[in-house]
Amino acid sequence: MLLEGNFQGVKHVGIPVVDIDKTQKWYRDILGFKLVHHYAVPVEGGEVKRAFLELVNLQVELYQLAGEALEEIKTRGNGHIDHFAIDVLDVKKAMNDALAAGAVLDKDTPDGPVPNPSWPPDGCKYVFLKSPNGEKVEFNQHLELDPNRRKENLGGWAHLGIPTTDYQQIKAFYEQFGFKEVMYVNIPVGDEKIHITMVEKNGFILEFYQLFGDDLKEVRTRKDGYIDHITFGVLDIDQAYQELKAAGLKILVDRPVFLRGVWDKGVKYFFIRGPEGEKVKFNQKVH
């Protein structure tokens, strides 16, 4: 297994934004996220702003770039990473509360919660919201779980959704890091099938789904989108870099990057590309 003893699990989802104040307000007012860290760094043509917000064990990193990089963000749509899902006790109530606070439904669920009888064993119900920045946020209610397991309707992570052109290939890729398959289902649609598989590590679930026809063609055209990357924590970034380089993975930088001013003493990180083009970040806090 890659990074055995070094891998710390999922840290956050990275979302580039065009208006960090507006997007922060949406996550706070609509979903109840709390701001845990923020900073700004002057750069040529402006400044880079970052804010980390948290809901239970789910953390998102919002970052507003400057200059041409900001202009590129404005052109993005749904990307390699399509959505992230929040566990809820009552999906209809979660949706109605969000709508009352000013949220809007995403076009993928225009009529409200959708039942999915295929997974987990008793099925689930889900609905998508669309943030003012464009990313899709899912409320997901697992019907077999105890609705009294906590007081708050919104919990933390449910899963991260990645559309795929080859569900077996992407599953094998993440299994290198110790993820285990916890669900596979194929859903017949006429003469075709939708393939859905979920893999889990340390309580975090990745959902891979392979569509067909025009939907599959659209997935093949995707680039980095509203949700830019997922971040895994490691204990030793230099060791992780050397190990993944030796394993032949597609690393996007020549060496780990040191970023000052983040989490007191800074962080070191690097990016790789997954088999669908999704960006995966490995991150170590400097102590």
Q: Round to whole Å and give the CA distance between 261 and 28.
A: 24
pLDDT tier for residue 261 given thresholds of 50, 70 and 90: low
Shortest CA distance to 270 belongs to which of 231, 218, 235?
Answer: 231
Residue 141 tokens, joined: 């209610």
Domain annotation covers residue 49: yes
What is the structure's pLDDT at 44?
86
174 in any annotated domain: yes
**What residues make up the domain containing 147?**
7-285
* Lowest-pLDDT range of 15-24, 72-81, 148-157, 260-269: 260-269
CA distances (Å), origin 12, targets 40, 57, 166, 240: 19, 9, 25, 18
* Pairing state between β 46-55 and 34-43: antiparallel
pLDDT for the residue 117: 85
Report helix, strand or coil for 96: helix
pLDDT per residue over 18-63, tens digit each? 999 999 999 999 999 999 999 998 888 899 999 999 999 999 999 9
Res 263 pLDDT > 70: no
Question: Taking the CB of residue 160, how many other CB atoms lie within 10 A of it?
Answer: 22
Contact 125, 141 (CB under 8 A): yes
pLDDT band (50, 70, 90) for residue 240:
very high
Could you tell me if residue 1 is inside a domain?
no
Provide CB contacts within 8 A for 141, sequence distance 6+: 87, 88, 89, 90, 91, 94, 113, 124, 125, 126
Reported as a pLDDT band with limits 50, 70 and 90, residue 122 is confident
Q: Would you give the distance in Å from CA 64 to the centre of its chain?
A: 17
**CATH number of residue 48's parent domain:** 3.10.180.10
Are the C-beta atoms of 40 and 20 separated by less than 8 Å?
no
Alpha-carbon gap, residue 46 to 163, rounded angstroms: 35
Residue 158 domain-assigned? yes
- Helix boundaries (H) for 145-248: 167-175, 213-220, 237-246
Asked if the structure places residue 107 within a domain, the reply is yes
For residue 2, being part of any structural domain is answered with no
* CA–CA dist 254, 257 (Å, integer): 9
Residue 189 domain flag: yes
How far apart CA 246 and CA 248 sit, in angstroms, is: 5
Strand locations in the chain (E) = 7-16, 34-43, 46-55, 58-64, 83-88, 104-105, 114-116, 124-130, 136-142, 154-163, 180-189, 192-201, 204-210, 229-234, 250-251, 257-259, 267-273, 279-285
Taking the C-alpha atoms of 240, 246, 248 and 252 in order, what is their torsion angle to the nearest 10 degrees? 50
| 82: nearest Cα among 107, 104, 103, 55 | 107
Residue range 222-236: mean pLDDT, rounded: 97
The 8-class DSSP code of residue 89 comes to: S
User: In the predicted model, what is the mean pLDDT of the chain?
Assistant: 95
Structural domains in the chain (count): 1
Q: What is the CA radius of gyration of the chain?
A: 19
Looking at residue 64, what is its pLDDT? Answer: 97
Q: Are 140 and 92 in contact (CB under 8 A)?
A: no
